[in-house]
Chain A
Amino acid sequence: MTPIRHTIIGLPQSGKTTFLAALWHILNADDTPDNLPALQLEDYDGDFAYLNQIRDFLMSCSVVRRTPTEQSVTVSIHVRHRDTATTAVLEFPDLSGESFELQLEDRMCEPGYLESLSGEGGILLFVTANQPRRALSVVNMNKALGDQAETAEPGKAKNWKPKLCPPEVQLVDLLQFLQRPPFPLRRRRVGVIVSAWDQVDTPDLTPDVWVQNHMSLLYQFLVSNTSDFETRFYGVSAQGGDFKTADRTKLLARSPGERVICVGEDVEARDFTAPIVWLMRAHDDQD
């Protein structure tokens, strides 16, 4: 039986590469013997050296280098569920996120992207909890500046370009593409992954409430379109903390498998593979 292909979508710097580095380590290393992840490696194809390189960065608590934009790094990982033996392919169609920006600017996508989203698989949609950029109005900016606003030199107006849209607007647009031909019209599972979850300033917040508070337009869109998207929200941290602070010394003392954080509905023992397991379960649930 052909394994279902699931697609990873996210704008540049939304945490996809770091997630992949941690996932690659977890699937390879089995360094969490007391809490084995639900998934294990089945097979892989793609850039083996690249996966190991970013994994090494993560192991030495070095911020995983931003995926080079001069090369479109595409990675596929084949996984198997330990209990059900169900297999799946995780496709990272463009780790740099460049192609997603081009979709918004040029209003075109690669044929391979269309193909990867034409099957029955789901989507992991990445957003970052690290300094989410919101649509700040001139009025609110002036309010925040107070007296300074009145004396501020008028700035030179910048022309509009799609890149200036808030990330949540860009993500809604990417999802709206999937609601129309040439993409097949069907209901998809979307696991919204809030990366850098260790940076969330309110630890008690659940990922769905974080998205509701910080990316409201995306949240409203998803809950209004349940006929097209079945959504769950997860908070993940591939690093487990900030590598640029004193935490780094503590983090170095632990293996990447021990550092990772994953929270969300039905996530057991911080299992980093839980969002993927949920995507894979869609097929079982339908059966």
Chain B
Amino acid sequence: MVTQLPQIASSKCRNPACRIALGEPCVDGRDPVESCPHYQLDADIDELDDDSTDDEESDQEDDTELDESPRNATPKVDLPSGDPLNLAGVVQFLRWRPAKFITIVGERGSGKTTLISALYEQFLDGPFADCYFAGSRTLMAFEKRSHYARAASGQPLPDTIRTSRQQGLEFFHLAVSEPASQFRRHDLMLSDRAGEDYQRAREYTPSISELIEVEKADVIVLLLDGDRLIDPEQQSVVLEHGRQLLRALLGARAIGSYTTVQVVTTKVDVIADYSEKDSLTRRMDAFKDRLQRLIGDQVGKLAFYDIAARSPNASFTPALGVDKLLHSWIDLSRHPISTPSSVIGRLHEEFDLLLTRPLVENA
């Protein structure tokens, strides 16, 4: 208790060092104060406010003191950062255990980071998609990306920090287990990169060679921005850009015949309220048919999904459709599409060797 103590209480403490009258705690730390042997029982303590708010205020003040306290100067032991993994971090991880690489591509603002953080957030509410959270090497990174969707951030509406080009390529690690299968574990590496890099790849195909996450992907997840799909002026552009990006990646042989390609329409909560929803649905169906004809036989599997990863509308199912995506990634972990020997033949980096070790062993 720090504040709101009646003045009368102070005059009843026999300890002259006690400054309880000034709103400070009992000098002996007694709480409730009547348990203090120096405190006289005839003090008027009826007005004591013991509610938790006061406790929290007190805690905050204590915390301030904590931050000001000198830290021990003895040498410390370094611990893992919990930040997103770079390529070196991924290589180190692969020495420990295999992982499936989920490469999420899409233009700026299409929802790549939101999908990643929304997937993690679901496990805070309980098991998700019949899976348990089994760990993450990038736990702090997930937390940081989820911050502006939390009430603790003070944001009036959920938001996600945009991934900048300066951040380059980052990976988020998520391990899940299946309680129905003796908690069998699956490790997923989810890539995150600024949308501008994928826009450049579509427009300048030599830059595709820099997209190492595409070549190494088990699954390519192409996001189509639902916000832009309901804009008549943007609709055709979004679909064409998506098709063009896939074509560019295939043309550069960054996507192989063993890669699963998932085309995901995001923010379907917005589409649900769109007045021309039926027309958009027909157009989307035609787009999917066309894409199937164009690239269906050139990739391991082509599939389509709809998601609303983080709808601001509370009546919408949280992370709608994300469970199906997670299921599909885990299915792939159970039944991997075999990698052609020609691909194994051009391995040269440690990353490649580690990444495909289980496949080589199975070959």
Which A residues have a C-beta under 8 Å from some C-beta of B? 13, 57, 60-63, 65-66, 69-70, 72, 96, 98, 101-104, 106-111, 113-114, 131, 134-143, 149, 152, 154-158, 160, 162, 164-166, 168-169, 172-173, 176-177, 179-180, 182, 216-217, 220-221, 223-226, 243-244, 248
Contact = CB atoms under 8 A, between A and B. Distances in A.
A141 B151 CA distance: 7
A13 B313 CA distance: 35
B139 A172 contact: yes
Given A139-B314, A226-B183, A108 B79 contact: yes
A155 B79 CA distance: 34
Contacts of B30: 57, 62, 65
A107 B311 CA distance: 33
B138 to A, nearest CB: 11
- Which interface residue of A60, A221, A243 has the most chain B CB atoms within 10 A? A221
B62 A177 contact: no
A113 B79 CA distance: 12
Contact of B69 (A69, A106, A157, A177): A69
A176 to B, nearest CB: 6
B46 interface: no
B69 A220 contact: no
Nearest to B69: A70
A243 B30 CA distance: 11
Interface stretch (B119-127, B225-233, B320-328): B119-127
Nearest to B68: A70
B139 A138 contact: no
Given A62-B35, A107-B79, A224-B135, A155 B123 contact: no
B44 interface: no
A-B pairs with lowest CB-CB distance, top 3: A65-B29, A155-B154, A62-B35
Given A137-B158, A176-B139, 4 more contacts: A131-B52, A135-B146, A139-B158, A172-B139
Interface stretch (B70-78, B106-114, B215-223, B346-354): B70-78
Contacts of B137: 176
Contacts of B310: 139
B153 A157 contact: yes
B265 interface: no
Contacts of A114: 77
